[in-house]
Structure 1
């Protein structure tokens, strides 16, 4: 896709910084950081899979058994990471983060 290649600015939901990243096993933290830097910051549309239904407009990147769910703002070239969570919990934990406060 034209204009898809990076760089994209990476932004994090506050709970990703406060809860998700500190809760990651150390080895996974390194793998996830590398995936964000090498994939999401450069080609987020190519590497991520679009989500459906109530999560339409969001994408996910799989890193082992962990998932990174994000949204792309194409005009401003930003990737907003909404959650980093184990695959068994990711969608139930994501739902409250999408509700307006």
Structure 2
């Protein structure tokens, strides 16, 4: 049985820039989490967010968070923001 992987996409380059601003060790861990885990089952790995962030998920990587949406029909994970947990939720698009 073949597993269909989800495609990873970044929102208008914003999250991609976020990735480049991380410390190198954290950047490696985040990349491994994104391309290793989120491509397989993004709905089971992240925490579903609520209230004003309804429709978004948050994947924990130490003190950092990867915020994303799942586009099920296209089998795509759209990364919208990456950053430290203390301020990442201030930057999530509504």
TM, length-normalised to structure 2: 0.91
Q: Which residue of structure 2 aligns with residue 31 of structure 1?
A: 29
Unpaired runs of 5+ in structure 2?
none
Higher helix share: 1
Please give the per-residue CA displacement for 1:70-101, whole angstroms capped at 9, x wherever unaligned.
Answer: 0001011000000001000011122xx33xxx
RMSD value, Cα: 1.1
TM-fit CA distance, 1:46: 1.0
Deviation at 1:6, TM superposition (A): 4.0
Unaligned runs of 5+ in 1: none
Indicate the residue corresponding to 1:17 in structure 2. Answer: 16
Q: Distance in 2 between matches of 1:47 and 1:78?
A: 15
2:52 corresponding residue in structure 1: 54
